[in-house]
Structure 1
Amino acid sequence: MKKFILFLILFVGFFLNAQLPKGKLFIIGGGSRPDFLVDRMVNEAGLKIGDFVAIFPHASEEQDSSFYYANQQFEKRNLKTLDCAFKKDEKLSKSKLDSLKNAKLIYIGGGDQVRFMEIINSNPEVKDLLKSAYLNGKMIAGTSAGAAVMSEVMITGNQLKYKDYENTFDNIEIKNVETKQGLGFITSAVIDQHFVVRSRYNRLLSLIIENPTFKGIGIDEGTAILVKNGLVEVVGKAQVIVFKNPKKSQKIKGDKLGANSILLDIYLNGDKFTL
């Protein structure tokens, strides 16, 4: 009986490890990126001088400019870069796809996360390649919009009830936070960015009250979370805010949302937590 239990434990452990992605995520909340943050990203990706970084500038209206500014931080570290820019429904050449497969780090720039997903969804081959890279040991990094796309449920930044775009929400109301499908690297939490600087608490609170199975992770500017093996480490100069709704509490009066026992954690550089 003891041998059977031991075998069962080993089997379950092997099965769970087999399901965990072998890669890493480096998710930056936008803004400027201090040198120690970029250095940590490069080191965690296992990059050496002359290695390739694949840059995805698709979230930007001006992909050339987005690539240029991202390229500078890697060129400064004697790394080579691959510009993976393409338009909606455009196919990549075989040589570019082969180069992309060899990149140890894939970096997604800022802009509009909806624009990014529309372009990526138009090219299933590239989308599948991104998923395969993460599952098989590569690092996927992103900043701002490139952070939002990491979760399966992706905040778009738009309000459903109030059509004028605002950096932050001034309400906690039902059916107001617009979401779409992201890349799905994180399935148990929703990522928000520029979080403290732009006071985006109401947005994330609304989301976890209406969707209590998710954690809400708000990453401030100049700050990132490093995700590997289901563990999260904060890297950067500011904070990461995590909201949880463990009791699945939800109250509605009119269109206003309420809840009890919402948990709030504020993490600093070096702090760790689990997904």
Structure 2
Amino acid sequence: MNIRGKLIIIGGAVDKGSFTETNLDRNAPKNLNFFEEGILKRLIKESKLKELSRIEVITTASKIPKEIGPEYVKALSYLGANNVDILDIVRREQAMDAEVLARLRAADVVMFTGGDQLRLTSILGGTQFDDILREKYINEDFIYAGTSAGAAAASSSMIYQGSSSEALLKGEVKITSGLGLIDGVIIDTHFVQRGRIGRLFQAVVGNPKVLGIGLGEDTGLLITNGRQMEAIGSGLVILVDGREVKDTNLTQVELGQPISINHLVTHVMSKNDTFDLDTFKMTIKSSQYV
């Protein structure tokens, strides 16, 4: 399938992307690298009309949307994008409201905030909003951007629960259906900072066909045509490839018991590195062998 849209999935804390700072201008110097080279700047650059693009910030995943939404508007405005508004969808009926759907149809970019990905999918999944979102992503020059919960929900399979410390105990990682914008991957966020590699290991060993993507904070992937991934932001992306797993005790142990896995392949990406989902080949931009 030829997908015209782009995905920008972010591990959370977009330096911050949602700004926790109460005085943006006062704290601008420490965020200068973010403003000039960071993820939101790249989002604007990749969008159809650049700074003039129509951007809708969608706060559905958050329990504090009144606080989160304006932070994104402020951050995007600082970067020159002023055609931005907030869609606070808190009930399924709103995801079928004519005005809300019209705003989605007119958008060049949607930015899904962090929060609870299960809240996001349970409110939007199976609605007209969900259908239009997928149609726009496939057929238009359109960007779906999501941070934290918004990133985790982008794939067909979605991790929604699981203790980091007990993630390699059978049954501790909970998976359900996501929004289905990209197949063949499963995404976890706040990955390095919260030690979630075990969650991704268990998700992948249960179905080694799926590529595990672990996004660090202030780190993301730009995915074009549903296949080409480029690392953006300041941190690390961990990829877990289970296709070469040789053995596991997954089906032999009881729930709550440790899982063994033999020969799980991992890759570590940093800014500008690329990965092809068709060939499973990674290219290090600043390779020491070039």
Equivalent runs, 1:123-134 vs 2, <5 Å: 124-134=127-137
Equivalent runs, 1:214-229 vs 2, <5 Å: 214-229=210-225
Letter in 1 for 2:7: L
* 1:247 CA drift (Å): 2.6
CA distance in 2, matches of 1:96, 1:177: 34
CA distance in 2, matches of 1:245, 1:220: 20
Q: What is the TM-score with the length of structure 2 in the denominator?
A: 0.81
Equivalent runs, 1:140-159 vs 2, <5 Å: 140-156=144-160, 158-159=161-162
**In the alignment, structure 1 residue 109 sits paired with structure 2 residue 113:** yes
How big is each residue's C-alpha offset from its partner over 1:113-151, in whole Å with a ceiling of 9 and x where there is no partner?
011111112x61101111011011211000011110011
Structure label with greater radius of gyration:
1
**In the alignment, structure 1 residue 246 sits paired with structure 2 residue 248:** no
Letter in 2 for 1:84: L
Letter in 1 for 2:62: S
8 A contact 2:245–2:263 mirrored in 1: no
Greater mean deviation of Cα atoms: 58-67 or 94-103 = 94-103
CA distance in 2, matches of 1:49, 1:246: 41
Residue 68 of structure 1 aligns to a residue whose secondary structure is helix
How big is each residue's C-alpha offset from its partner over 1:59-100, in whole Å with a ceiling of 9 and x where there is no partner?
001222221112112222232123221222323543332222
CA distance in 1, matches of 2:246, 2:93: 45
8 A contact 1:106–1:140 mirrored in 2: yes
Residue 257 of structure 1 aligns to a residue whose secondary structure is coil
CA distance in 2, matches of 1:93, 1:127: 12
* 1:171 CA drift (Å): 4.2
How big is each residue's C-alpha offset from its partner over 1:18-48, in whole Å with a ceiling of 9 and x where there is no partner?
x121100000100124222211111111333
Task: Provide the residue aligned with 2:41 in structure 1.
Answer: 39
Structure 1 spans left out of the alignment, 5+ residues? 1-18, 160-165
Task: Provide the residue aligned with 2:194 in structure 1.
Answer: 198
Residue 86 of structure 1 aligns to a residue whose secondary structure is coil
Residue 241 of structure 1 aligns to a residue whose secondary structure is strand
8 A contact 2:157–2:178 mirrored in 1: yes
Residue 154 of structure 1 aligns to a residue whose secondary structure is strand
* 1:50 CA drift (Å): 3.6
CA distance in 1, matches of 2:85, 2:208: 40
Task: Provide the residue aligned with 1:12 in structure 2.
Answer: none
8 A contact 1:154–1:190 mirrored in 2: yes
Structure 2 spans left out of the alignment, 5+ residues? 18-33, 278-290
Residue 256 of structure 1 aligns to a residue whose secondary structure is coil
Output the aligned Cα RMSD.
1.6
Task: Provide the residue aligned with 2:10 in structure 1.
Answer: 28
CA distance in 2, matches of 1:271, 1:240: 10
Task: Provide the residue aligned with 1:75 in structure 2.
Answer: 77
CA distance in 2, matches of 1:93, 1:172: 42
Task: Provide the residue aligned with 2:58 in structure 1.
Answer: 56
Letter in 2 for 1:190: I
CA distance in 2, matches of 1:90, 1:54: 18
Letter in 2 for 1:182: G
8 A contact 1:155–1:180 mirrored in 2: yes
Task: Provide the residue aligned with 2:90 in structure 1.
Answer: 87
Identical counterparts, % of pairs: 28
